[in-house]
Amino acid sequence: MKAIIRERFGPPEVLQLRDVEKPVPADDQVVVRVQASSVNAADKYDMKGITFLVRIVAARSGGVFRPKNLGIGTDVAGTVESTGSKVNRFKPGDEVYGVSPTAYAEFAPADEARITLKPDSISFEEAAAVPIAGITALQGLRDIGKASPGQQVLINGASGGVGTFAVQIAKWLGAEVTAVCSSGHIETARSLGADHLIDYAQEDFTRNGVRYDLIFDIAGNHSASDYKRALKPQGQYVLVGASKNVFRTLVRLLVFGRLSIRGSRKIRFFVANIKQEDLAVMNGLLQTGTVKPVIERSYPLNNTAEALRYFSEGHAGGKIIITNAMS
């Protein structure tokens, strides 16, 4: 089968389309015939390697000097090809989506507990946009930030993959939503239901005098004192991983910002944990049209390097999809 691999950490040029062995499912896994996948920040850093120090800490899973697992990718959508001996929720032919450690491939293994049936109402491409970004927004706003009806919630970085889901999910949770994004994506944020819109090039939300109950931060581009100024006395700040800006901001907050943003205000940092029950919640939102994936562009599998290159520029308005077509 064809799959994207990388034998070393580096820029998109390290990604290669190769013939590899078709995966065999473990007892609690299925193998998915992949129809589509999507690009996430985690994929970019899995390709590049975050930092040498982090690679040492995570050596068992990721490798230090070179990748331990050559495959790459996370979000996956497709049809179940085969199942392990202990799998009882899925059968060959089922249309599913979720996560896989090697999603950029014609066939990909996935744990039974980390996939769900795809709603008939959405395409494989739309389904592939959901897992990491959608669950990050859901867990970050509902579980970590405790967003609730009537709260003032600001989404910093509202036009990207996570951000477009976050605007919609915050509205579903009953919040009054302010979306911060570039001028080119203002209308998209408006169409997703944002109540207030801020073009970050024209206005600094940390200096306009408005305070928020919750700041859901995907961009990670302000100081601890800036965030403190924009939070209400009982407000919460949720920093979403994983990007270079986010890791830098987390360090600044922990090292320099601990005293300046303490007391009743709370700092939270998290990375999503993909669970079947939360995928089921997303299914309900997708089926009713409460949440709609925003897809900016698609690339064929053999142009995955170009998809990662474009994603790395940081200007995507929604999700970048990789299909298993070949150009």
Domains of the chain: 2-130+293-323 (3.90.180.10), 133-270 (3.40.50.720)
In angstroms, the Cα distances linking 284 to 32, 75, 96, 117 are 22, 19, 15, 12
Tell me what pLDDT residue 59 has.
38
Per residue in 75-133, pLDDT tens? 999 999 999 999 999 999 999 999 999 999 999 999 999 999 999 999 999 999 999 99
Written as six digits, the tokens of 209 are 């005098």
Tell me what pLDDT residue 268 has.
82
Torsion of CA 22, 26, 32, 34, to 10 degrees: -50
Q: Is the model's pLDDT at 260 over the cut of 60? A: no
Closest to 185 in 3D by CA, of 218, 158, 167, 156? 158
Distance in angstroms (rounded) separating the CA atoms of residues 129 and 315: 17
Q: Is the model's pLDDT at 243 over the cut of 60? A: no
In angstroms, the Cα distances linking 194 to 9, 162, 171, 175, 229 are 38, 14, 8, 10, 22
- Give the predicted TM-score (pTM) of the model: 0.91
Q: Is the model's pLDDT at 279 over the cut of 80? A: yes
Distance in angstroms (rounded) separating the CA atoms of residues 137 and 179: 14
Distance in angstroms (rounded) separating the CA atoms of residues 240 and 92: 35
Asked if 237 and 266 count as a contact pair (C-beta separation under 8 A), the reply is: yes
In which band, very low, low, confident or very high, does the pLDDT at 51 lie, cut at 50, 70 and 90?
Answer: very low
* Residue scoring higher pLDDT (62 or 113): 113
Written as six digits, the tokens of 115 are 């996939």
Mean pLDDT of 46-52: 68
- By DSSP bridging, strand 75-83 and strand 29-38 are antiparallel
In angstroms, the Cα distances linking 180 to 247, 248, 257 are 20, 20, 22
Percent pLDDT > 70 in the chain is 87
* Residue scoring higher pLDDT (278 or 263): 278
Distance in angstroms (rounded) separating the CA atoms of residues 75 and 104: 9
